[in-house]
Amino acid sequence: MKKEHLVSIIASLLLLLLAYAALSKYREYDDFRFQLSKSPFISPFAALTAWTLPAGELLVCLTLLFRRTRLLGLFASLFLLSLFTAYIWSMLHLSYYIPCSCGGILAGMDWSTHLYFNLGFVFLSIAGILLYRPATPGL
């Protein structure tokens, strides 16, 4: 399989994950915002985070859609997923209370499973970046 096809598959998986996560957050906005307000690390920024996080996820989805911006999207996905993975790790190891603000299918996962799920997508993002080849002009 060509590297370009693998990168497209990786970008598509990331796009599906991020679009699903963003739309779930907007669909269950009140609960998402409430759960963020109970987080010991995010509570002062809950209202702002409740809108900007899903908006950022959708923006990253747009960058993953187009070949010209795909590398930026892969790096942005890596950033978001790494940030959220670090958040999950810190909640598991440093917090006395762990609110659940995940929606849809992901709500069925416990936090440890979610950590490994995210790590898998972090590694997918890294693989996409390493496999990425810029388009050859004129082809």
Reply yes or no on whether the pLDDT at 30 is more than 80.
Answer: yes
Categorise residue 138: left if φ over 0, alpha if ψ from -120 to 50, beta otherwise: left
Kindly report the three-state secondary structure assignment for every residue of 19-51. Answer: HHHHHHHHHCHHHHHHHHHHCCCCHHHHHHHHH
Q: Where along the chain do its domains lie?
A: 3-131
3-class SS of residue 17: helix
Q: What is the mean pLDDT of residues 131-135?
A: 83
Compute the mean pLDDT over every residue in the chain, rounded to the nearest whole number: 87
Mean pLDDT of 7-32: 94
127/103 Cα distance (integer angstroms):
27
% the chain with pLDDT above 70:
86
CB 118 within 8 A of CB 81: yes
pLDDT greater than 50 at residue 139: no
pLDDT tens track for 39-82: 777 788 888 999 999 999 999 999 999 999 999 999 999 999 99
pLDDT value at 138 more than 60: no
Distance (Å, rounded) from C-alpha 70 to C-alpha 10? 11
Q: Could you tell me the pTM of the whole model? A: 0.86
